[in-house]
Amino acid sequence: MPILYSFKRCPYAMRARMAILLGNISCEIREIRLKNKPEHMLEISPKGTVPVLLLKDRVIDESMDIINWVVAQKSIFASTNEEQNKLTEHFITIFDDNFKYHLDRYKYSTRYHDADLEHHRDECLKILIDLENSISNNKWIFGDEINKLDISILPFIRQYKIANPIWFDAQQKIIKIKKLLDSFVESKLFQKAMHKYDVWEPDTKPVFFPAE
Ligand SMILES: N[C@@H](CCC(=O)N[C@@H](CS)C(=O)NCC(=O)O)C(=O)O
């Protein structure tokens, strides 16, 4: 059985857990704390980020690679057209490279000296407005079925809202995104992905994901 090193609140780990759920894959899950990473995790992936998925024959330690590993064995997403595939790649890159950068400086402005909270908040908003103008007005980004783009970026948008929910709810240029986020947070998929586990210790009994 695969072993997944994970951290409940990490948006990269969330997207990996959702892909694993959609793929009906069972694994042993090891909840970690970023300040106290297990030795075994660092042995198999010295870069020290979660998620890390240990398979029989290899280690996958990038969240998008974990999603792509699930996709390679099971068709977990509705099919998309060329335009949607382009948007998917475009926005995943923008979120991983830009949105996350500004989100960290908005959310944790005290940790980053000189970070101008409003500037970083507004840079994220610009990306969201761009997304808003590229998507349909359905349950998920491309329609009624969940897709790779949904699980890849919604965990970050959720964090953005959490930084200041009142301000977020007042934004009028991201109506579709606000609706999308609400239905994402309420979805069974997300709730299952957020199951709470105790922190793993090398001598504790294995626990499994999804939880029984
Ligand atoms: N590119 C990586 C990023 C993963 C990442 O940065 N995860 C954060 C937690 S949200 C982490 O493990 N940071 C290490 C640390 O803070 O020590 C991926 O997509 O898996």
pTM for the full predicted model: 0.96
Q: Which numbered atom of ligand 1 lies nearest the CA of 61?
A: 20
Nearest residue by C-alpha to atom 2 in ligand 1: 62
152 ligand 1 Cβ < 6 A: no
Q: Indicate if 60 and 98 belong to the same structural domain.
A: no
Q: Which residues of the chain have pLDDT under 70?
A: 109
48 & 92 share domain: no
Distance CA 196, CA 42 (A): 23
Q: Are residues 119 and 40 in the same domain?
A: no
Residue 73: the pLDDT is 92
Same-domain status, 199 and 116: no
pLDDT at 108: 78
205 and 170, same structural domain? no
Ligand 1 pocket check for 48: Cβ under 6 Å: yes
* 98 and 71 inside one domain: no
pLDDT at position 205, please?
Answer: 94
- As a whole number of angstroms, the distance between CA 12 and CA 33 comes to 14
Per-residue tokens: 189 = 């998929």
In tens, the pLDDT along 99-153 reads: 999 999 998 767 777 778 999 999 999 999 999 999 989 999 999 999 999 999 9
Read off the CATH number of the domain in which 88 is found: 1.20.1050.10
Same domain, 88 and 181: yes
Q: Which atom of ligand 1 is nearest to the CA of 34?
A: 17
Please tell me the distance between residue 136's alpha carbon and the centre of ligand 1 in angstroms: 30
Closest Cα to atom 12 of ligand 1: 49
Per-residue pLDDT at 186: 97
Together in a domain, 182 and 100 = yes
Same-domain status, 136 and 195: no
Q: Which residues contact 38 (CB under 8 A, 6 or more apart)?
A: 5, 30, 32, 200, 202
Report residue 72 as tokens: 């390679």
Total domains present in the chain: 2
Q: Which residues contact 48 (CB under 8 A, 6 or more apart)?
A: 37, 41, 42
Which CATH number characterizes residue 46's domain?
3.40.30.10
10 lines ligand 1 (CB under 6 A): yes
Same domain, 86 and 183: yes
Mutate-to-test residue for ligand 1 from 4, 12, 47, highest number of ligand atoms within 8 A of CB: 12
32 within ligand 1 shell (Cβ under 6 A): no
Same domain, 88 and 169: yes
- Judge if 182 and 130 occupy the same domain: yes
Nearest residue (by CA) to ligand 1, atom 19, is 63
Range of the domain at 153: 82-187
